[in-house]
Amino acid sequence: MPFILGQPIKKRYESLTKMRAKSLYIMNDEEFLQKHLFVADPKQGAMRLDKFLTDRIYKITRSRVQTAIKAGLVFVNGSDWVKANYKVRPGDRIEFMMPKAYDESVGIVPDDIPLDIHYEDEHLMVVYKPAGMVVHPGIGNYRRTLVNALAFYFQDKKLPVMPGNPENRPGLVHRIDKNTSGLILVGKTEQAIFGLAKQFQDHSIHRRYQAIVWGEPEEDEGTIKNWVGRHPRFRTKMTVLDSEKHAKWAVTHFKVLERLYYVSLIECRLETGRTHQIRVHMSNAGHPLFNDYKYGGDRVVKGTIFSKYKQFVENCFKIMPRHALHAKELGFVHPATGKDMLFETELPKQMTDCLAKWRTYVADRKAKLTL
């Protein structure tokens, strides 16, 4: 159950501290957060931030508060670069955003969803995840994820969990975004999980994506290297940062496959696998993914805005109703046999139809210019 306004203050602390508190819900397609706002009383005594929040929020553990602080979901006077041992001062304004808890006691509910299996043996499997499917249960997505489908497929067989992963991610060694289509690798044994995890850690996994981006990159191919971390203000977004203090090193190799003046079809090979890496890198380079609402690709980025062209772009958005990114190739060394494995899948119909529409539009434009 989400926290309810009127419940968060424990009675034994009501006489010690007076505060204002309010709750509101923030929802998008990826997260369901509840926001609490506290203003510390002018007579507030020194108290650790994690204890301050644990004492005032209904049915929450201190460890869960600490997790939220580390994730940057707690703001003190507008800044989220705070630690659990920060001492709350009189007048401090504390914003606390907490995801609705995933109830692990319920377990993973099997869902009868057909799996598009490209390969399977006793150690691992490679499956195709369509756009719109979430990889694992979590905030706001408890059912009909890839993990729920795997639970139904394997029935009583329990897949191992990679060390460091929550229990709701059995078999997973990597992820792709909800609205990204493509290949996912699943480990069925501990040997496979550990072997594949090592390859991801060593950056030896072969991952090649194709994407439609706005505009035309100046170079036919190149490499983007920088620090990528959580956006300091918009916590559901990632961004390029100046240093490693709050970020991780990210490397994307890109190659232009087709230039269509207004948009381009590119290929991206990941050397690292940071959250939203391709989306962040291309947006930062001035070429956001087509119809990527989170990183500026859901508006007319290239071309003069006039009625017919704008209508054409909006029609393309309807054909491609999500960011145009597809995990096309996946290669690795089999953790049990030592053999090189490589799998490939074709672009989904949404992307091919969108590209076809742009090709026709650009060809007509060129024809008119030559008349």
Task: Identify the active-site residue in 55, 80, 177, 292.
Answer: 177
Spatial contact of 82 and 74, defined as CB atoms under 8 Å apart? yes
- Secondary structure (3-state) at 263: strand
Beta-sheet pairing, 116-120 with 124-129? antiparallel
Burial of 337 (0-12, 13-18, 19+ CB in 10 A): exposed
Greatest distance between any 2 Cα atoms in the chain: 83
- Secondary structure (3-state) at 140: coil
Instruction: Report the alpha-carbon distance of residue 311 to residue 282 in Å, rounded.
Output: 25
Catalytic residue status for 177: yes
- Secondary structure (3-state) at 259: strand
Containing H/E element for 50?
helix 49-54
Three-state helix/strand/coil letters over 295-358: HCCCCCCCCCCCHHHHHHHHHHHHHCCCCCEEEEEEEEECCCCCCEEEEECCCCHHHHHHHHHH
Beta-sheet pairing, 340-344 with 221-230? unpaired
Instruction: Report the alpha-carbon distance of residue 77 to residue 86 in Å, rounded.
Output: 12
For 231-274, strand residue ranges (E) read 238-241, 247-260, 263-270
Binning the chain into helix, strand and coil, the percentages to the nearest 5 are 25, 30, 45
The set of catalytic residues is 177
